Structure 1
Amino acid sequence: MDLSPIKEQLHALGLQAAEIDRRRGEGIKPLFDERLFNCLARLLTPCVAESKSVVDTLEREQSSGKLSAMRAEHLCERLVNQVSALQREIATVSIRQKERSFAPKFGTSTGQLYQELAQHQEWERRLADMVRDAESNMAHSQTIAQQQHAQKSLLVAESRLARCRESKKKIEARITFREKKG
């Protein structure tokens, strides 16, 4: 039985798991059921290590001649289930992060989100006015110092307007997400 392809796959999963663990940190509860992984880890890396140990057990028992057909079937089935679970978890990390960003903040109702949206729309209107004023001031400035000051004011106002619009989009997305979920 050649286990080198599964070893390579586990090595690649280990690298991905380490990167994900660094980015998201330790979870609150174990990632997988105790029937799938004995380690009950809240990180992916220990789960990959457990799968590697299953491969080591297969190799060790096969080389010593102690690997029965039933034992091999059991270990291979466990290994396939573990690798599938790890692949699913790694593949869905980005989806879960998006869900969390749209998830309702603690105590935030849809009504509060609409109030936030209205507030951001008002800020957007005021900031757009500030941008127009800064553009006008820049067009009418007579000295280089006035022009530089007007340009700086314009850049600040445009930056604030862009951030306000981005926040408004996020609020709109949260409202849409909430309304679709019911």
Structure 2
Amino acid sequence: MSDLSRLEAIVDQLLHEAIQIDRQRKEAKYPLFDEQLFHCRSKLLTPCVKEIQHEISALRKERQAGKLLASRTQYICESIVAQIQAVQREIATQNIRKNEPRKKAGWRKPINELRQDLAKHKEWESRLAAMVRDKEMQLSRSATFAEQQSMQKEVLALEGRLTRCRSSLANIEKSINYSERGR
């Protein structure tokens, strides 16, 4: 069984589970995954799994046409594995999420706490941006292909964290604006 066939088998099983979960819980309030991980920005699991299937299919076609470079294969496979792991984590946490206490509709964080959160997130954003710059510099100085691959993974991970941090920052700023208008 080839590596692509193994990935296809895993993704077929994920698709079955995703369809069942989507039927039970319906659409989420926000997209389930970061846009760097999935292009589809779906609020359901099934389109995300179908995106993985599409990536595997495209990879197989490129390989059959003899147009696939080893470096590209490794990059795409790492991306597919990251997507599969993200969907698996989402599926695994379903029971936990069902039992999580829900916020009461009328409750809002006090504005002073929101401002403290904003300050913390701005500091984290600054640190993460600096870390991304440092890793990009290390990447540009990498001598071997293995070092470049390792640095690329670290840069991508840090960029994902930075994106999530900036998203949280925007949400906190919206909450502050909403609280200030409500007074």
Give the TM-score, by structure 2 length.
0.56
Tell me if 1:33 matches 2:60: no
Match in the other structure for 2:175? none
Match in the other structure for 2:91? 90
Match in the other structure for 2:117? none
Q: Which structure would you say has the larger Rg? A: 1
Match in the other structure for 2:65? 64
The amino acid of 1:26's aligned partner reads E
Tell me if 1:105 matches 2:95: no
The amino acid of 2:105's aligned partner reads F
- Give the alignment of 1:48-59 within 5 angstroms: 48-59=49-60
Q: Could you tell me how far apart the structure 2 residues matched to 1:106 and 1:41 are?
A: 25
Q: Could you tell me how far apart the structure 1 residues matched to 2:59 and 2:22 are?
A: 27
Match in the other structure for 1:118? none
| CA displacement, residues 113-149 of structure 1 (integer Å, 9 cap, x when unaligned) | xxxxxxxxxxxxxxxxxxxxxxxxxxxxxxxxxxxxx
The 4+ residue runs of structure 1 with deviation greater than 6 A are: none
- Cα RMSD of the aligned pairs, angstroms, is 1.6
Q: Could you tell me how far apart the structure 1 residues matched to 2:43 and 2:80 are?
A: 19
- Structure 2 unaligned spans of 5+: 108-183
1:2, distance to aligned residue in structure 2 (A): 3.6
1:106, distance to aligned residue in structure 2 (A): 2.2
1:70, distance to aligned residue in structure 2 (A): 1.3
Q: Could you tell me how far apart the structure 1 residues matched to 2:35 and 2:102 are?
A: 28
Q: Could you tell me how far apart the structure 2 residues matched to 1:76 and 1:69 are?
A: 10
1:29, distance to aligned residue in structure 2 (A): 1.1
Q: Could you tell me how far apart the structure 1 residues matched to 2:81 and 2:3 are?
A: 15
